[in-house]
């Protein structure tokens, strides 16, 4: 790790813009870096992201970023963490709000809406690959568990006789299925597969799947 800047009492000194000096705590600096990385990804996708470009926007040296994060993948994982948090907030909102549709339908449609509104950030979750042999950190895994938990909660009403494990498996299968329709729609590939729009397809999928869960088992 290269220390390009002196660190005094936990503060980092912004340089580069001579007319304007300011100091930030490590936490403020982390947030600045993640804000910059997120807006670069929103504007240009992952391909446009570099430590140099983040550094240019926040007016620190690239070395500062490596004081705060292990590497650029680590920065991206933390932006993904924000995306997962944002998605989870939307899902928990639709779960607690009243509505005519079953909760699983509301969760699935909220997932589609989220991906449509922020396609580049949503796509980041699937586009970004860690180098082989690198494990996802525990905090990231935990966020994924929380998201799947929302769908488990949503399908719980149809699960009168299933175990917690089969409910969990079903929640994940349904999640991945909804993801399929969403990703075809976001990639603009759905028009070549079907004239149905994604909202209707998800409606069909979730309705039929829930009816299947509620149907007596042979």
Nearer to a copy of itself, 99 or 180 (CB): 180
3-class DSSP string for the chain: CCCCCCCECCEEECCCCCCCCCEECHHHHHHHHHHHHHHHHHHHCHHHCCHHHHHHHHCCCHHHHHHHCCCHHHHHHHHHHHHHHHHHHHHHHHHHCCCCCCHHHHHHHHHHHHHHHCHHHHHHHHHCCCCCCCCCCHHHHHHHHHHHHHHHHHHHHHCCCCCHHHHHHHHHHHHHHHHHHHHHHHCCCHHHHCCCCHHHHHHHHHHHHHHHHHCCCC
Q: Which residues bind a copy of itself (CB under 8 A)?
A: 126, 129, 136, 140-141, 144, 148, 169-170, 172-184, 187-190, 192-194, 196, 200-202, 204-205, 207-215
Nearer to a copy of itself, 36 or 77 (CB): 77
Q: How far is the CB of 118 from a copy of itself (least distance, A)?
A: 18
Nearer to a copy of itself, 16 or 180 (CB): 180
- Cα 128 from chain centre: 11
| 182 C-beta neighbours (distance < 10 Å), count | 23
Q: How far is the CB of 65 from a copy of itself (least distance, A)?
A: 25
Q: How far is the CB of 72 from a copy of itself (least distance, A)?
A: 19
Q: How far is the CB of 10 from a copy of itself (least distance, A)?
A: 34
**Is beta strand 23-24 parallel, antiparallel or unpaired with respect to 12-13?**
antiparallel
Nearer to a copy of itself, 3 or 214 (CB): 214
| 98 C-beta neighbours (distance < 10 Å), count | 5
Q: How far is the CB of 115 from a copy of itself (least distance, A)?
A: 12
Q: How far is the CB of 52 from a copy of itself (least distance, A)?
A: 23
Nearer to a copy of itself, 54 or 104 (CB): 104
Nearer to a copy of itself, 59 or 203 (CB): 203
């Amino acid at each position: 790790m290269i220390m390009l800047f002196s660190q005094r009492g936990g503060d980092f000194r912004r340089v580069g813009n001579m007319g304007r000096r300011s100091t930030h705590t490590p936490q403020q600096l982390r947030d600045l870096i993640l804000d910059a990385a997120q807006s670069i990804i929103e504007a240009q996708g992952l391909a446009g992201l570099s430590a140099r470009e983040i550094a240019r926007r926040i007016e620190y040296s690239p070395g500062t970023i490596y004081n705060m994060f292990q590497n650029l993948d680590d920065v991206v994982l933390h932006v993904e963490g924000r995306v997962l948090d944002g998605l989870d907030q939307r899902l928990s909102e639709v779960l607690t709000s009243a509505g005519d549709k079953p909760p699983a339908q509301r969760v699935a449609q909220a997932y589609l809406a989220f991906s449509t509104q922020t396609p580049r950030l949503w796509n980041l979750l699937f586009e970004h690959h860690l180098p082989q042999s690198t494990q996802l950190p525990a905090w990231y895994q935990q966020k994924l568990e929380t998201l799947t938990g929302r769908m488990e909660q949503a399908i719980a009403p149809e699960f009168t006789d299933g175990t917690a494990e089969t409910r969990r498996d079903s929640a994940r299968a349904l999640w991945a299925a909804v993801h399929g329709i969403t990703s075809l729609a976001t990639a603009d590939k759905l028009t070549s597969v079907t004239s149905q729009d994604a909202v209707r397809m998800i409606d069909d999928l979730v309705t039929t799947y829930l009816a299947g869960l509620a149907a007596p088992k042979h």
